[in-house]
Amino acid sequence: MKPELDDQPCPCQSGSSYGACCRPYHRGKAKAPTAEALMRSRYTAYVLGEIDYLVKTTHPAVRRTDLWIQYKQTHDTIRWIGLEVVKTAQGSVRDKTGKVEFKASYVQEGRHAVHHELSRFRRHGGDWHYVDGVIEDVSA
């Protein structure tokens, strides 16, 4: 990871720099306090290729053995270009479960598309984890 990346706008489009936004989560210096924060940090991990983080923040109940390879292949073949959080339900610092609906824009093999997903999150060992999502792919 290049140090100057810290000063760039965070890929999750929070308005903060990467160093002040998702990086502390990727580096294990802090835990995402809400389901939305975890979702944003996972999006940024997709963008930057933080594969270990994606695996680590997947709920152990659904963490298949080939997950690392799957995330790596996604990172290698898809270029993520934008994130819009549509809405959230629960997932606050006081909740144990949460849902985040988002639209993530990407380019794959020259094709522009939007990944529209309603993700479910659950705490495990006190920390937010991704469980699963209902996915709808729509053309941009």
Chain residues that interact with Zn ion, rule: CB under 5 A: 10, 12, 14, 21-22, 40, 44
Q: Which is nearer to Zn ion, 44 or 119 (CB)?
A: 44
Q: Which of 91, 33, 51, 79 is nearest to 42 (CA)?
A: 51
Q: Which is nearer to Zn ion, 8 or 136 (CB)?
A: 8
Q: Which is nearer to Zn ion, 12 or 54 (CB)?
A: 12
CB of 12 to Zn ion, least distance (A): 3
Residue 21 CB neighbours (<10 A)? 22
Q: Which is nearer to Zn ion, 40 or 99 (CB)?
A: 40
CB of 64 to Zn ion, least distance (A): 26
Q: Which of 48, 36, 6 is nearest to 121 (CA)?
A: 36
Residue 27 CB neighbours (<10 A)? 12
Helix (H) or strand (E) holding 90: strand 79-90
CB of 109 to Zn ion, least distance (A): 27
CB of 48 to Zn ion, least distance (A): 10
Helix (H) or strand (E) holding 55: helix 51-56
Q: Which is nearer to Zn ion, 46 or 71 (CB)?
A: 46
CB of 14 to Zn ion, least distance (A): 5
Residues in Cβ contact with 135 at an 8 Å cutoff, skipping those fewer than 6 apart: 115, 116, 117
